[in-house]
């Protein structure tokens, strides 16, 4: 009987230790869950998920390009008109351009990239030409200065 009581006492203490350990783990998990459900952390995790998904990034970029192009084109075409008919027409044009551009965003990005590359290439070429002209002018000035020294002697 004494052995059974001792065995039960040992088993009870083991179970109490296990219970305390599991309670500690449960409290830590509860704290982690509580922190993850805070509004700031929910927003942060959503942004992290969105930024890690390339498909969502492309959709957001395409939509932003479409909206930007549409607003820009409406401003160019309609200006600051107060005519209600022109405003409605401008909104329809803005909507149409926005849809077309956002649906063809990848194509638009490549065309804009080529356009920028073309102008950057032209700009680099113009800068090189200016630098070459400056070097040539410096050479001419040096030759002119040397000629002045010869005449002085």
Q: Tell me the two tokens of residue 48.
A: 């992290």
Taking the domains of the chain in order of start, what are their residue ranges? 1-52, 54-103, 105-153
Model confidence pTM above 0.75: no
Neighbours of 93 (CB within 10 A): 15
Tell me how many degrees the CA angle 88-94-100 measures, rounded to the nearest 5: 140
pLDDT in tens, 43-94: 888 888 877 777 777 777 777 877 887 788 778 877 777 888 888 888 888 8
Give the separation between CA 68 and CA 73, rounded to whole angstroms. 9
Give the separation between CA 46 and CA 70, rounded to whole angstroms. 28
């Amino acid at each position: 009987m004494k052995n059974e009581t001792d065995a039960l006492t040992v088993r009870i203490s083991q179970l109490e230790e296990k219970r305390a350990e599991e309670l500690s783990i449960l409290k830590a998990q509860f704290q982690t869950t509580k922190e993850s459900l805070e509004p700031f952390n929910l927003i942060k995790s959503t942004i992290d998920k969105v930024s890690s998904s390339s498909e969502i990034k492309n959709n957001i970029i395409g939509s932003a390009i479409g909206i930007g192009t549409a607003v820009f084109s409406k401003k160019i075409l309609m200006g600051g008109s107060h005519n209600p008919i022109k405003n409605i027409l401008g909104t329809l044009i803005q909507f149409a351009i926005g849809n077309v551009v956002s649906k063809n965003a990848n194509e638009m990005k490549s065309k804009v990239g080529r356009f920028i590359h073309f102008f950057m290439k032209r700009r680099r070429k113009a800068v090189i030409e200016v630098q070459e002209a400056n070097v040539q002018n410096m050479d001419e000035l040096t030759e002119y200065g040397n000629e002045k020294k010869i005449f002085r002697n």
